[in-house]
């Protein structure tokens, strides 16, 4: 090869090397730029929130959801901006497997780490459910349905579920009488199933009422049922705390003397949810009604509502007296009598004159 050809070849090789170096430099610059952009994107994701100031979002995480499914759900609902980066965050922090099921009150103004912490360490959302004293099971079921936590039909099934009743030590064919009146804070049941709500009410009965009534442990089931049945009658007959033990004493005296209880609320309960508010003479004479204490001796077959603690304590410790009758006064209190003549006189004074 002549000198000129060698020179041209050397120059071409040098140009090729220069181009290769340029290409390598551009490639490295691109890699560094992509890396820097990626780091910036990750840091921006970690440090910022989707919205400012943001809004609360209730997110319901289904049991068994994977971190990928949770991240996608959070992105759809606007709680995070990038599902992939949230998954990477969960894996890097070692928290991904600890995401819990349930309802969570999250916020679009939170950075991703705060969202992840709420899902792994925070409490699920609790709903306030107020159950007043003296409700029948079907009235309690309507309260639950109106709360939006579970359907009435689901509540009915749970109240009559033999397995649930047995597990909770309830001495009867239903939870009537043991749905403890209280203000509850409960998580939303999965699929509208009322069983956890009913179980919470029954647990509260034993924890709050049972512990006061029987600190050394409950008596035989028949005695528990008898006490709750009597307490339910007391609860329905008077709303005045000072009268509860006296009303319980009246029924205790009637039981001792083998007199009929003659309790209007028991008859009404036997008429069921369809009762229209008008208790008739025919209703009081109906012997087919198992809760008709005007025709059937002794206590009714079971509780007619779920009584509160005061009524339960009154039934356990009735007032000692010789009273056998009572009638409502105009102010909601009752006039108590020892004899039928006294009672008839009180009825004329407080009932017939008012009519």
Distance between CA atoms of residues 293 and 279, nearest Å:
14
pLDDT of amino acid 192:
86
pLDDT of amino acid 209:
96
Q: Give domain limits for the chain.
A: 56-121, 126-213, 221-321
pLDDT of amino acid 247:
97
pLDDT above 90 for 2: no
pLDDT category of residue 3 using cuts at 50, 70 and 90: low
pLDDT above 70 for 4: no
pLDDT above 50 for 43: yes
Residue carrying the six token digits 């030590």: 169
Q: What percent of the chain has pLDDT over 70?
A: 86
HSE-up of residue 169 (Cα within 13 Å, Cβ side): 13
Residue carrying the six token digits 């509780």: 303
pLDDT above 60 for 118: yes
More confident: 21 or 277: 277
More confident: 203 or 45: 203
pLDDT of amino acid 180:
98
Distance between CA atoms of residues 106 and 187, nearest Å:
15
> Is CATH 3.40.50.720 correct for 56-121?
no
Contact assessment for residue 164 and residue 173, using Cβ atoms and an 8 Å cutoff: no
Q: Which of 55, 43, 46, 47 is nearest to 79 (CA)?
A: 55
pLDDT category of residue 36 using cuts at 50, 70 and 90: very low
Q: Which pTM was predicted? A: 0.80
pLDDT of amino acid 28:
55
pLDDT of amino acid 271:
95
Element (H, E) at 102: strand 102-107
């Amino acid at each position: 090869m002549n000198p000129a050809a060698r020179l041209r070849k050397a120059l071409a090789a040098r140009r090729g090397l220069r181009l290769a170096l340029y290409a390598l430099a551009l490639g490295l610059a691109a890699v560094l730029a992509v890396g820097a952009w990626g780091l910036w994107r990750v840091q921006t994701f970690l440090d910022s929130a989707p919205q400012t100031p943001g809004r609360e979002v209730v997110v319901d995480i289904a049991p068994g959801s994977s971190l990928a499914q949770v991240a996608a759900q959070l992105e759809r609902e606007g709680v995070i901006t990038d599902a992939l980066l949230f998954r990477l965050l969960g894996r890097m922090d070692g928290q991904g497997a600890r995401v819990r099921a349930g309802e969570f009150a999250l916020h679009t103004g939170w950075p991703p780490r705060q969202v992840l912490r709420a899902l792994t360490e925070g409490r699920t959302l609790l709903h306030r459910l107020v159950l007043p004293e003296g409700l029948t099971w079907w009235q309690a079921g309507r309260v639950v349905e109106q709360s939006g936590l579970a359907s009435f039909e689901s509540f009915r099934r749970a109240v009559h579920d033999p397995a649930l009743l047995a597990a909770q030590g309830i001495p009867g064919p239903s939870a009537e009488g043991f749905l403890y009146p209280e203000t509850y804070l409960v998580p939303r049941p999965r699929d509208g199933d009322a069983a956890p709500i009913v179980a919470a009410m029954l647990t509260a009965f034993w924890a709050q009422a049972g512990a006061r009534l029987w600190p050394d442990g409950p008596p035989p089931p028949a005695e528990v049922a008898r006490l709750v049945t009597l307490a339910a009658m007391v609860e329905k007959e008077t709303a005045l705390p000072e009268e509860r033990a006296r009303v319980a004493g009246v029924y205790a005296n009637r039981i001792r003397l083998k007199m009929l209880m003659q309790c209007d609320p028991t008859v009404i309960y036997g008429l069921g949810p369809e009762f229209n508010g008008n208790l008739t003479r025919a209703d009081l004479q109906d012997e087919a009604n198992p809760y008709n204490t005007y025709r059937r001796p002794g206590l009714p077959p079971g509780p007619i509502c779920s009584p509160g603690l005061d009524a339960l304590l009154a039934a356990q410790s009735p007032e000692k007296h010789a009273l056998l009758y009572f009638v409502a006064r105009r102010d909601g209190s009752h006039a108590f009598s020892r004899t039928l003549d006294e009672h008839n006189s009180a009825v004329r004074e407080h009932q017939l004159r008012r009519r």
